[in-house]
Structure 1
Amino acid sequence: METSRHPYLKSLAQHGYIQGVTLHTKATNTPLCHYFGGVRYALAPSERWRRAQKLPQSYSYGTKDQPGSCGGNTGVCPQPGFMDLSGQDDWTEDCFQCNLWVPLGEPPREGWPVLFFIHGGFLQFGDPNTFSAAALLGDAALNAIVVVPAYRLNVFGFLYSSELEQDATSTGETVGNHGFWDQRQALEWTRDHIALFGGNASQITISGYSAGAYSAFYQLAYDLQIPDGQSIIKRACLWSNSPVAQPKPPSSAQIQFNQLLSVLDIPASLPWNEKLSALRAVPSKTLLTSAMSIDINQFRPTSDSVFIQPTLFHSFDTGAFARKLSARNVRILLGECRDERNLYATWFPPTQNSLQSLHQRLLADYPSPVVDALINLYYPDGRLPADCENWETDAFGRVYADMQVHKMQRGLIHSLAAGGAEHLLYRYRVEYRLKCADKTLPPSWGVTHATDQYIWFWGNGEVIDPEEKPIVRRALIDPFVKFVHGEDDIQWGTANHQEIRTLKPDGSVQIIQDPFWDEAMRVWKALREVGEPDHVSAAKL
């Protein structure tokens, strides 16, 4: 959907003024919503791998005569390229800004509800500027503010080591998981400032796609461990992802850090502070290139005992997590696309067509005991299954999609239902593809990972064909809007946790009994029997 922009001045009370825009459809000049881009939510830290700083009470975005310019985009964390989605023009390590879409007119007395959306990209790439909520607000009747933050990614956001532990101790900070702390900072900024935009801070739905859904889950897990009075999240949407296994322990993270030092020729014998000084002096592009060249080149969260408790997955087994969720009455909408694997197969596939290469690739994402168990579950005789064309893309794509979405999400659902939180779950499955998805994803991939972003974001800047609109509106968008609005009855139609609201290829909506449940339980339970990663398993990497 092509839009035109009209300047829109916004007062943020004691924080001054910003200059955003009102978006109109170009074809009819119909106003859709207000947009504010690149709104700062935190100050950059003094050095890499430190916590971003909360905006001071005295912070001003600008004056009425010289308002802060907020009609563009956020900064973008340096990142590897993928499918021509990652450019370098707006790379900056100071990416602590968010984009906001705000409904037109006066807000209701209590304020508009808020949809806080975290972008995906395997935690390695992505940015808020590839999303547009304009049509979702202006055409699909979502009367909510949408907030999409940028955050640190890959080596900039998820590096961890004993050296960084010492550095954090010296400054009184937490260590590691900086990308998650950035998201949290943006979420707290939203809670504290969204009323200035007409929002209701007590009605925040956290959401995310892919790694954004993974992030949203960990934000929810963190929210559940803090006192009720400090919690932020009211509802959650987990689109096409789920927690997989207990994130790696610090000992495992150290191996990755040492590999990075080696490739940059930084002596391991140096004192910890000199190692970090050398790393911090490396230009961002060089650091990124070096980080992507090491064996363990996927930078992922660490069980740091502050943001992520090492007992998190144990709390799934005991039902403690589900009981906390029930006590807070946090509803979760979650689901999948039919052909997730076809896009997953393209992300750093194994370098050789062999089981050994597949095993090595999976180690970049998952603890060694989990990978060993997976290989035994999927390939017990060490041979390529008859329905797989090769190890590099087909076998890899299937197991990767099962881990990231299909089987592990069902495992989460199982643990929540067993713990008494079944009534909080709204499951979906998408088997229908909008035509506008063809612009970025090959039609031959089917209803693959990310095709449904064009549904949830009502075209995401593209135009949905008129005959497709009533199909996706009835199937998913109308109940989703009710969910974000906080309505009790969203008319989802499922009766228990093994039923799925399914948008079929012909556009019909069916409530189906999950045909993949038993196999998912076999994999989930086998992986839970492996236990949590520890120092012994880390040594096997």
Structure 2
Amino acid sequence: MKDLFNVKLRLLTATLLSIGLLHASPGFANGVDTPATQASVNTGTTLYNGISTDYGASFVGIPYAAAPVDALRWQPPQPAVIGSEFDATVAGAACPQIASPYGVGSENEDCLSLNVYKPKPRQGKNAQQKLPVVVWMHGGSLTSGVSSLYDPVKLVKRNLVVVTINYRLGALGYLSHPALAAETEAGNSGNYGLMDQQAALRWVRDNIAAFGGDPDNVTLSGQSAGGYSVLANLVSPASAGLFHKAIVQSGVYTLEEPTQQQWEVAGSALAVAMGCEDQSAECLRNLEVATILENQGSIATQYPIVVDGATIPQQITNAISTGEFHHMPVMNGSTSDEFSLYVAALNELVGNPVTEENYLQSIIGAGIPEVIAPLAQAEYPVSDYASPGLALTALGTDAAFACNAQAMSFWLAAFVPTYAYEFADPDPAPLLPPISFPYGAYHGSDVQYIMQTPNSLIAEKSKPQKALEHQMLSYWASFARHGNPNVNLAPYWFRFKTSLPVMQSLKPWLAYPTLNFHQKHHCEFWYGFAES
């Protein structure tokens, strides 16, 4: 099974995933519906003063680790010193990232904060019962994104406690370097952003009960690079016991993580580019944040999770396909037109639309190896689609996401209860300007159905879309509560099994099981290029 699905196509992952979290501007989500009064929670060590909302209360900008500055830069996260009282009414800063049309610029390293959103207290016999907890990790290629973009009011209204987190990004979050490795007992470097996520989960374990959450019923969820981070935490020994269910939305499924030693070569080259010819940790820690951000792209377009033998002991796909991960129920899925954002951002919106004449070159430009590109062109002829852009969208969606998501579901289902889905709303609220063909269910379009995001406010959802939103929220809430998405009166969602790979199709008005995902997305074609 492993060999069959280990597809070796490496598309422009960094570009794709940064597109997946274009919604990156600060200060959107404080969880505040209307101006309201103060709400307070006492954890026993700190009194957190937040804001009372129409649905409950929000507590934002809570430090879960000390600011990773000076001597703590490129160190595992250390405990935060907060004091006896904390003002949790202002969202924390985004972690350092380059300003772009797709992200928020920030040079503030004091960014390791989280936000807690809780519903109103319940009445009656269940008033003291702790609620399921959902921890959300944003996407953005591990180089951009911020938690304050996601207002989880829709989930909170389903009687869930929701936590959204920031974590270190780019070189500051994922640099490996020999000088940094020499400082640690295990000799590892890199994966600092992943360690931040684990520190946030430990904060949840230790404090969430005071906010009404159940520390023994935590679902870790994320989209795009956030979904990839969920998979990494499933594999990491340091995440053991910190969460109990997992939701992966359009994650990265076949990325080959470099070894720490391989990535240290890139880290050493980056040190030289930034002026640290002596390769010392002291020089690296004295660099201005702006210098790091300006130079990190000169060495690599993405800063990956690495196999360091400690935080990540082996390739993520190897671990999952052989059952060497934390066993728990998993929900895993993708959207039906993931790649349309890529075609828009790198073709349509920059004056280079896909045409019949440049179709083959556009396939290669999308990251398909030249030896495979002509075969892919024949598999996805322009004549089968309404436009060349739609043809490339279908090709890229299948190669980069759909078939790899299905492969991950096969691996997971061999060991744990797995629920697979495809989000297929043909007309969600847009994220980018109009192009010559419909975006369809683009990468990240499913998020607006479970979270309030900036683009979800662009247009009122239609009645069928509202029905889909209600259905999805019911599924997500039930999964967080029970590890099973099925609820009363909902279309039944069958488990994905290796012998019966059924997916749940999520469309306006209708959610239903389907067995034709494999054929629809040409997966037999793409699996044919698997490594043997």
TM range (shorter): 0.7 to 0.9
For 2:471 and 2:175, locate their aligned partners in 1 and report how far apart those are by CA, in whole Å: 41
SS in structure 2 opposite 1:19? strand
Match among 165, 183, 190 for residue 149 of structure 1: 165
Render the CA deviation track for 1:398-418: whole Å, top value 9, x for unaligned.
Answer: 67654652222111122233x
1:238 lines up with 2:248 in the alignment:
yes
Specify the code of the residue in structure 2 equivalent to 1:426: Y
Compared with structure 1, are the counterparts of its residues 257 and 403 closer, same or farther at alpha carbon in structure 2 (3 Å cutoff)? farther
Distance 1:84 1:262 in 2: 28
Q: 1:335 to 1:92 in 2, by over 3 A?
A: same
- Is 1:457 aligned to 2:482, yes or no? no
Which residue of 499, 502, 511 maps to 1:499? 502
SS for the counterpart of 2:317 is helix
Residue 115 of structure 1: aligned partner: 134
Q: 1:166 aligns with which of 168, 182, 200?
A: 182
For the residues of structure 1 that align with 2:242 and 2:406, how far apart are their CA atoms? 26
* Residue identity in the other structure for 1:163: A
After superposition, the Cα gap between the structure-2 partners of 1:402 and 1:48, relative to the gap in structure 1 and judged at 3 Å, is: farther
Q: CA deviation at 1:51?
A: 1.1
Counterpart in the other structure of 1:218: 232
CA distance in 1, matches of 2:493, 2:51: 39
- Ranked by relative contact order (alpha carbons within 8 Å, sequence separation 6 or more), the top structure is 2
TM-superposition CA deviations, 1:82-133 (whole Å, max 9, x none)? 4353134xx4112111011111114743411100010000111000011101
Q: Where does residue 301 of structure 2 map in the other structure?
A: 297
Deviations 1:116-152 (CA, angstroms, capped at 9, x unpaired): 01000011100001110124323xxx11110011000
| Contact 1:137–1:144 (Cα < 8 Å) also in 2 | yes
Which residue does 1:340 correspond to in 2?
338
Unaligned runs of 5+ in 2: 1-30, 353-357
Maintained 8 Å contact 2:260/2:306: yes
Counterpart-to-counterpart distance in 1, 2:445 and 2:434? 10
Cα deviation 1:345-399 (Å, max 9, x = unaligned): 46789x998989987985xxxxxxxx8xx5544445999975399xx99998767
Q: For residue 421 of structure 2, what is the amino acid of its counterpart? A: Y
**How far is 1:212 from its partner?**
0.4
Taking the aligned partners of 1:75 and 1:342, their CA distance within structure 2 comes to 31
Question: Does 1:33 find its partner at 2:22?
Answer: no
Residue 317 of structure 2 corresponds to 313
Q: Which residue of 1 aligns with 2:95?
A: 77
The 3 A distance-change label for structure 1 pair 152 and 402 is farther
Residue of structure 2 in register with 1:537 after alignment: none
The equivalent residue for 1:532 is none
Which whole-Å CA distance do the structure 2 matches of 1:454 and 1:200 have between them? 26
Q: Residues 396 and 160 (structure 1 numbering): CA distance in 2 closer, same or farther, change over 3 Å?
A: farther
**What is the CA RMSD across the aligned residues, in angstroms?**
3.6
Provide the TM-score with structure 2 as the length reference.
0.79
Distance 1:123 1:109 in 2: 38
2:48 maps to: 18
Give secondary structure in 2 for the equivalent of 1:333. Answer: strand
Residue 523 (structure 2) aligns with: 520
> C-alpha distance in 2, partners of 1:99/1:520?
39
> Paired residue for 1:429, among 422, 435, 444?
422
Tell me: CA distance 1:22–1:113, structure 2 relative to 1, closer, same or farther (3 Å): same
Q: How far has the Cα of 1:510 moved from its partner?
A: 2.6
Contact 2:245/2:483 (CA < 8 Å) preserved in 1? no
Letter in 2 for 1:427: A
Q: How does 1:234-383 map to 2 (within 5 A)?
A: 234-267=244-277, 270=278, 272-273=279-280, 276-292=281-297, 294-310=298-314, 312-317=316-321, 319-321=322-324, 328=327, 330-345=328-343, 375-379=370-374
- Tell me: CA distance 1:13–1:513, structure 2 relative to 1, closer, same or farther (3 Å): closer
Preserved CA contact (<8 Å) 2:419 2:496:
no
SS at match of 1:21: strand
Q: 1:146 to 1:474 in 2, by over 3 A?
A: closer
How high is the sequence identity, in percent, across the aligned residues? Answer: 20
Q: Aligned pair 1:50/2:75, yes or no?
A: yes
Q: How far, CA to CA, are the matches of 1:285 and 1:395 in structure 2?
A: 40
CA contact (8 A) 2:60 2:92 kept: yes
Indicate the residue corresponding to 1:182 in structure 2. Answer: 196
CA contact (8 A) 2:468 2:510 kept: no
Q: Deviations over 1:475-526 (max 9, x none)?
A: 322122111122656154325442111123x532232113335843554574
How far 1:252 moved relative to its partner?
2.5
Q: Contact (CA 8 Å) 1:213, 1:240: kept in 2 or not?
A: yes
The offset of 1:316, in angstroms, is: 4.1
Contact 1:135 1:459 in 2 (8 A): no
The CA deviation at 1:265 is: 3.8
Deviations 1:252-273 (A, max 9, x none): 3133223323433432xx2x42
Cα drift, residue 456 of structure 1: 1.6
Pick closer, same or farther for the CA change 1:147–1:434 going to 2, 3 Å.
farther
Aligned partners of 1:434 and 1:468 also within 8 Å: no
Q: Which has the higher mean CA deviation after the structures are superposed, 4-13 or 211-220?
A: 4-13
Instruction: Pick the aligned partner of 1:127 from 126, 146, 156.
Output: 146
Paired residue type of 2:77: A
Native 8 Å contact 2:398 2:522 kept in 1: no
Contact 1:410-1:521 at 8 Å conserved across structures: no
Q: Deviations over 1:2-39 (max 9, x none)?
A: 8223232423243221220012xxxxxxx212001101
Task: Note closer, same or farther for the CA distance 1:102–1:409 as it changes in structure 2 (3 Å cut).
Answer: same
Partner of 1:475: 471
What do residues 227-262 of structure 1 show as CA deviations (whole Å, max 9, x unaligned)? 9xx512211110111431331112331332233234
For the residue of structure 1 that corresponds to 2:162, the secondary structure is strand
Structure 1 unaligned runs (5+)? 24-30, 363-370, 530-541
The CA distance in 1 between the partners of 2:176 and 2:389, in whole Å, is: 30
